[in-house]
Amino acid sequence: MKIAVCVKHAVDESELKLDPTGKPLLAGAAGKMSAFDKNAVEEGLRLKSKHQGEVTVFMVGGPESKKTLKEALAMGADKGALIQADALTVDSFRTAEMLAAAIRKSGPFDVVMCSEGSSDTYSGQVPPMLAEFLGLPYVGYARKIEVSGQTARIERSLEDSIETVEAPVPFAVSVVSEINEPRYPTLIQIMQASKKPVEELNGEELSPRGDYKQVVVASMSSQPSTRKRVILEGSPDEAAAKLVEALVKEGVLK
Amino acid sequence: MAIYSAERRRLMEMLHPGRHQVFSEVLSSLGAFMEKEILPLSPKLDAGEASIAKPRKALFEQGMTAIPFPVQYGGLGLPFSVYAMAVEMLGNADASVALSVEIHNAVAEGLLRYGSDGQRKKHLAAVISGKTLASFGLTEPASGSDSSTMATTAEKKGGEYVINGSKMFITNAGEASLYMVFAKTAKGPSCFLVEAPNPGLKFGKDLKKLGMRGSKTSEVIFDGCRVPEGSLVGQEGEGGEYAKEILHGARIVVAALNVGISQIAYDKSIAYAKSRKAFGKPISEFQLIREKIADMKTGIDAGRLMYLYAARIKEMGGDYTSEASQAKVYATEMSLKACDEAIQIHGGYGYTTDDLHRHWRDARLLTIGEGTSEVLRMLISRKELSRAQ
Amino acid sequence: MKSVWVYSESDSVSNEVAAAAAEVAKGAGLDVQVIELGEARQGVSSPGGKLLIKGSVRNGDSAGAASSAIAKAAAELQPAAVLLGATRTGREIASRLAAKLRVGCMAEITKVATDGTALSGERSVFAGKVVARVSCPLPAVATVKVGAYPRLTAGSASVSEKEVGVVTDQVKVLSREKKTAGAVDLKSAKVIVSAGRGVKKKEDLPMLEELAKEMHGALGCSRPLSSDLGWLPEEHHIGLTGVTVKPDLYLAIGISGQLQHVAGMKDSKVVASINTDKDAPMFQASDYGIIGDLYLVVPALRKALAARG
């Protein structure tokens, strides 16, 4: 089974600093593998161990994002493809287009796996767009995947329901984080990851922009918090009484 | 803040130009692991609500213990300073787990240095990978660093040694399946490997400690404990020297562990000082608090540089005995002071919050364990006086 | 006249998105068309007209079929913009539609507007730390944040039809089940008591359930409790990848307050939290905080609530 897993080197929102005017300092901001992408890599690896095969990791990003690709390789992926582009200025559509071109180039794959969305912007657009560009049947928000022969049976987790669907192989899928518990690469795997093959591709050459007009970010600013941040002190009884009093005053306690 | 912080990374870059990248990848992955799997468990380990076995096993599986050992035994073959930094980070995440791992690895170091081919083959890879948990027994109820006063004996009878006596304050006791212990033969202090279970190997009850409560400590009792002849490590009568050498390396690591403890106490103090208000402003605005912060940070940085210096001498093959002892004396005493100031900065919360005063309680062990400050000062001065000749 | 289309995933989502569309259309000389598949539903309102897409497709069909049908109609009728609710299904249809039409797609926006040449809006990124103002040249697709607009209640509208023939999806839906019988409705709860990792064991949850009941609220949780520990079903999970809530009162108990969690509850009116760790980021996202052991504070709180009668 040939499995393609797409990952993103996302801005680490917990380390993101804002300048005095509230603008995020994105240039040089710390990045990491988007949290839910680890679930996608993990699921790819589980399918691989069950069905024999190979996991290739695809990523659109700049040079700084190599460490994310390496992390996926350390987890156990066999090889990687880095599609060079400035991940901060391309939108979901372009990202999906470039991923599709790279996947087509080194395919065909039986499964194209993504996570439901990236931890930094959480748009959740790349996986369905990617499926469209590849012309593959698509199943979003999978919490369980079972492939047997040429059919996959997948449980989808929607807001208020669980849907069980059947898709033909090959297919594209996005997974939710409840699907598995991603493994940590061991230290030895980390050291060996550098020896695994990584192909570097130029995004614009691979997939020219054409006449597509993309989504642009006009400006960014901090989301001001207006919380009161009052610490209620005293013994548990005193603090609890103070809390009840405050909540009644706020009119939120009936 | 990531456990493998920018500060720690920068030191690795300075120490290992050209090679730091892979070291940083290893340490940053390990740090992320500790953050998620060890750090949140730390208060529970202290309170006796969680067992050390699971997080320690997970760390072994990650390969933390393999860092400084040769590749042929399943090690990662990385410099000792990278391992020491990993222990600092673990001390930051949980001191008890760090202590347990540090003792375990001291046994691996001993096996590597003094074990026969057969002993290495049988035990080293298993200890390095953590499949076998190891423990180290030198101290006795009435004998500490001075191995000549040791009362535990090993008598050769037929193809066996019979060990009698007991070892005190032994970390990992009862949990470990391999004990590196020291006992006197006719030729003097000697080093043995005792595998558990053994009908002659018994354990006292868990000692109630001030700190390091996540780790198990008890007396190890040898009651006619028979071990095969091949359990002798190296030569009879040389055990005292072996123990000294093993402990020299371990002191670097203990210093690192204490720097880690100090760092977390410091981080908590900074956050508190910035958020706690008195007289209408954060207490971090007050000069007397600022003095504490400055002194804590200076001490932590100095301690870190000292253990890394000793580690670097060790990995370059030099004589690091004085520097390792200096690092341990300084870092352990510094960390007591830093953790004490952390309590002071936190005021009443410091005195009443387990999650804060445990750092002081944990740190308190290590001006005593693995060579008291007093003995180490003796050692440092002796070494330096002889160097000056 | 060019139209802003609204995809009517369900009555409630559709009526919200239609309200957003009405604002977009207002200044730009556009009209609003609410799109339904197969048949018009009574609960779905429109400030303009309704466009019924006819063919093999039905309301509630898979996102693959729905997006194909809407794309066919859009290719011909050329709407200026298509708006959907930012639900899981809405996101998927929007993305697939944008890919098929080769137009830009914005996610989870609020303050949707147009100057006649581009669609613009605001969205929260980096787990709620930052607001980004985004825009995309028309024609464009966007999902609108659910809960950001008051629902439209206008009555019936004129219905036009568009035949698109047969659309298919290779993905077959075998079954669809409600997540749990009597599932919590966190979205409409006025008070939410939410449990985090500070809760030591599953057996302690009833204590918090009782508290929630006494406060006339519902019980939610942070991700570890549902996803890692499995102590509560996934629909209790509040956060970026779980449910987004905005109750009058959000009481976080033993929740550290990772950005991903805060992203799911930051629009709550009043937030209170209980945590032993005074450095827990949750306190920064709270109006009222109690530093203390939940096993002491919660019983005290229940006592204080009972004392009010």
Domain end position, chosen among B100, B129, B158: B129
For residue B352, give every residue at least 6 positions away whose Cβ sits within 8 Å of its Cβ, in sequence order, or none: none
Residue C182: pLDDT band with limits 50, 70, 90: low
Residue B345 forms part of a structural domain: yes
What is the pLDDT, as a whole number, of residue A253? 84
pTM, whole model, 2 decimals?
0.82
What is the pLDDT, as a whole number, of residue C164? 94
- How many domains does chain A fold into? 2
Residue A214 forms part of a structural domain: no
Please report residues of A whose CB lies closer than 8 A to that of C269. 250, 252
What's the rounded mean pLDDT across residues B62-70? 95
Residue A161 forms part of a structural domain: yes
Name the residue among B366, B330, B118, B154 with its Cα closest to residue B247. B366
Please report residues of C whose CB lies closer than 8 A to that of B353. 276
Domain end position, chosen among B237, B270, B290: B237
B290 and B351 fall within a common domain: yes
State percent of chain C over pLDDT 70.
Answer: 97
Residue A65 forms part of a structural domain: yes
* C286 CA: distance to closest CA in chain A (Å): 5
With contact defined as 3+ CB pairs under 8 Å, the chains touching A are B, C
B173 and B305 fall within a common domain: no
Return the SS3 of C21: helix
B37 and B104 fall within a common domain: yes
- A122 part of contact set with chain B, CB < 8 Å: no
Query: Is the Cβ pair C128, A250 closer than 8 Å?
Result: no
Please report residues of A whose CB lies closer than 8 A to that of C284. 225, 227, 229
Return the SS3 of C253: strand
B230 and B363 fall within a common domain: no
What average pLDDT is seen over chain C?
Answer: 91
Across the interface, which of C102, C241, C304 has its CB nearest the CB of A244? C304
Mutate to test the interface with C, among B44, B267, B353 (most CBs of C within 10 A): B353
B142-174 burial, b for 16+ CB within 10 Å, e for fewer?
ebbbebeebebbbeeeeebbbbbbbbbbbbbbb
Residue A41 forms part of a structural domain: yes
What's the rounded mean pLDDT across residues C52-76? 94
Return the SS3 of C53: strand
Least confident among B193-207, C61-75, C169-183: C169-183
Mutate to test the interface with A, among B25, B78, B352 (most CBs of A within 10 A): B25
Residue type (1 letter), B126:
A
A117 and A239 fall within a common domain: no
Mutate to test the interface with B, among A187, A196, A235 (most CBs of B within 10 A): A187
Q: What is the CA radius of gyration of chain A?
A: 22
Domain that includes residue A99, residue range: 2-206
Answer yes or no: are the C-beta atoms of C124 and C267 closer than 8 Å: no
Name the residue among C121, C144, C120 with its Cα closest to residue C6. C144
What is the pLDDT, as a whole number, of residue B1? 65
Residue C82 has pLDDT above 80, yes or no: yes
A33 and A114 fall within a common domain: yes
Query: Is the Cβ pair C179, A164 closer than 8 Å?
Result: no
A140 and A241 fall within a common domain: no
A243 and A131 fall within a common domain: no
Residues 12-71 of B with CB under 8 A from A: 22, 25-26, 29-30, 32-33, 61-64, 66-67
Q: How far apart are CA B263 and CA A142, in angstroms?
A: 42
Answer yes or no: are the C-beta atoms of C265 and C124 closer than 8 Å: no
What is the pLDDT, as a whole number, of residue A225? 73
Other CB atoms within a 10 A radius of the CB of residue C203 amount to 9
For residue A20, give every residue at least 6 positions away whose Cβ sits within 8 Å of its Cβ, in sequence order, or none: none
- B2 part of contact set with chain A, CB < 8 Å: yes
What is the pLDDT, as a whole number, of residue C235? 84
Residue type (1 letter), C50:
K
Across the interface, which of B40, B49, B268 has its CB nearest the CB of C279? B268
B180 and B252 fall within a common domain: no
Across the interface, which of A13, A131, A133 has its CB nearest the CB of C127? A13
Residue B383 has pLDDT above 90, yes or no: yes
Across the interface, which of C197, C200, C279 has its CB nearest the CB of B271? C279
Answer yes or no: are the C-beta atoms of C145 and C108 closer than 8 Å: yes
B217 and B91 fall within a common domain: no
The token pair that represents B78 in the structure block: 């990385």
> Each residue of B127-178: pLDDT tens digit?
999 999 999 999 998 888 777 889 999 999 999 999 999 999 999 999 999 9
B264 and B359 fall within a common domain: yes
Query: Is the Cβ pair B76, A15 closer than 8 Å?
Result: no
What's the rounded mean pLDDT across residues B178-202? 96
Q: Please state whether beta strands A9-11 and A161-168 pair in parallel, antiparallel, or not at all (unpaired).
A: unpaired
B275 and B223 fall within a common domain: no
The token pair that represents B379 in the structure block: 């050692």
Residue C180 has pLDDT above 70, yes or no: no
What is the pLDDT, as a whole number, of residue A101? 97
Answer yes or no: are the C-beta atoms of A96 and A130 closer than 8 Å: yes
Residue C128: pLDDT band with limits 50, 70, 90: confident
Return the SS3 of A34: coil
Considering only alpha carbons, which residue of chain A is nearest residue C212?
Answer: A253
Considering only alpha carbons, which residue of chain C is nearest residue B40?
Answer: C197
**Rounded (to 5) percent helix, strand, coil in chain C:** 30, 30, 40
Peptide bond into B189 cis (omega under 30): no
For residue C166, give every residue at least 6 positions away whose Cβ sits within 8 Å of its Cβ, in sequence order, or none: C55, C56
Question: What secondary structure letter does DSSP report for C40?
Answer: -
What's the rounded mean pLDDT across residues C210-229? 90
> Each residue of B14-36: pLDDT tens digit?
999 988 989 999 999 999 999 98
A37 and A81 fall within a common domain: yes
State percent of chain B over pLDDT 70.
Answer: 100
What is the pLDDT, as a whole number, of residue A185? 94
Residue type (1 letter), C72:
K
Task: Please report the DSSP string for A173-241 in residue order.
Answer: EEE-GGG--PPPPPHHHHHHHTTS-EEEEEHHHHS--TT----EEEEEEE-------EEPPSSHHHHHH
What is the pLDDT, as a whole number, of residue B354? 86
Residue B368 parent element (H or E): none
What average pLDDT is seen over chain B?
Answer: 94
Mutate to test the interface with A, among B62, B128, B275, B352 (most CBs of A within 10 A): B62
Other CB atoms within a 10 A radius of the CB of residue B308 amount to 24
Residue A212 forms part of a structural domain: no
Residue C280 has pLDDT above 90, yes or no: no
Across the interface, which of A116, A140, A165 has its CB nearest the CB of C174? A165
Answer yes or no: are the C-beta atoms of C34 and C63 closer than 8 Å: no
Residue A131 forms part of a structural domain: yes
Domain end position, chosen among B129, B147, B178: B129
B245 and B310 fall within a common domain: yes
B36 and B90 fall within a common domain: yes
Q: How far apart are CA B162 and CA B183, in angstroms?
A: 10
What is the pLDDT, as a whole number, of residue B348? 85
Domains in chain C: ranges and CATH: 3-165 (3.40.50.620), 186-308 (3.40.50.1220)
Please report residues of C whose CB lies closer than 8 A to that of B49. 200
What's the rounded mean pLDDT across residues C74-87? 95
Residue found by looking up tokens 């240095």 in the block:
B113
- How many domains does chain B fold into? 3
Residue B29 forms part of a structural domain: yes
A124 and A237 fall within a common domain: no
A229 and A197 fall within a common domain: no
Name the residue among B267, B385, B226 with its Cα closest to residue B8. B267
A235 and A134 fall within a common domain: no
With contact defined as 3+ CB pairs under 8 Å, the chains touching C are A, B
State percent of chain B over pLDDT 90.
Answer: 88
Name the residue among B199, B204, B205, B203 with its Cα closest to residue B224. B199
B269 and B365 fall within a common domain: yes
- Provide the CA C150 distance to its chain's centre, in angstroms: 13
What is the pLDDT, as a whole number, of residue C309? 61
B99 and B50 fall within a common domain: yes
Question: Cα separations (Å) of B160 from B118, B190, B229, C12, C205?
Answer: 17, 14, 5, 83, 58
Across the interface, which of B22, B25, B62 has its CB nearest the CB of A186? B62
Domain that includes residue B215, residue range: 134-237
What's the rounded mean pLDDT across residues A223-249? 88
By annotation, the residues of B acting in catalysis are: 370
Q: What angle do CA A96, A97, A98 make, to 5 degrees?
A: 95
Question: What secondary structure letter does DSSP report for B374?
Answer: H
Residue B265 forms part of a structural domain: yes
Query: Is the Cβ pair B76, A191 closer than 8 Å?
Result: yes
Residue C157 has pLDDT above 90, yes or no: no
State percent of chain A over pLDDT 90.
Answer: 69
Question: Cα separations (Å) of C88 from A37, B215, C14, C93?
Answer: 17, 47, 14, 9
A119 and A190 fall within a common domain: yes
Answer yes or no: are the C-beta atoms of C273 and C251 closer than 8 Å: yes
Task: State the ipTM, two decimals.
Answer: 0.90
Residue B43 forms part of a structural domain: yes
A65 and A95 fall within a common domain: yes
With contact defined as 3+ CB pairs under 8 Å, the chains touching B are A, C
What average pLDDT is seen over chain A?
Answer: 92
Q: Where residue A143 sits, what CATH number does that domain have?
A: 3.40.50.620
Residue B347 forms part of a structural domain: yes
What's the rounded mean pLDDT across residues B49-77? 95
What's the rounded mean pLDDT across residues B200-216? 93
Residue B41 forms part of a structural domain: yes
> Each residue of C93-119: pLDDT tens digit?
999 999 999 999 999 999 999 999 999
Q: How far apart are CA C43 and CA C154, in angstroms?
A: 10
Residue B158 forms part of a structural domain: yes
Residue B1 forms part of a structural domain: no
A160 and A251 fall within a common domain: no
Residue A254 forms part of a structural domain: yes
- B9 part of contact set with chain C, CB < 8 Å: no
Residue A38 forms part of a structural domain: yes
Please report residues of B whose CB lies closer than 8 A to that of C276. 43, 353, 355
Name the residue among B328, B365, B375 with its Cα closest to residue B84. B328
Question: Cα separations (Å) of B362 from A188, B260, B354?
Answer: 31, 11, 11
Name the residue among C95, C88, C80 with its Cα closest to residue C33. C80
Torsions phi, psi of C30, nearest 5? -110, 160
The token pair that represents A86 in the structure block: 């400035």
Name the residue among C83, C118, C93, B57 with its Cα closest to residue A131. C93
- C299 part of contact set with chain A, CB < 8 Å: yes
Residue A61 has pLDDT above 60, yes or no: yes
Q: What angle do CA A165, A168, A171 make, to 5 degrees?
A: 90
> Each residue of A210-226: pLDDT tens digit?
889 889 998 898 877 77
Q: How far apart are CA A119 and CA A32, in angstroms?
A: 10
Query: Is the Cβ pair C126, A120 closer than 8 Å?
Result: yes
Least confident among A106-110, A165-169, C261-265: C261-265
Any idea how long chain A is?
A: 254
A235 and A194 fall within a common domain: no
Q: How far apart are CA B246 and CA B137, in angstroms?
A: 12
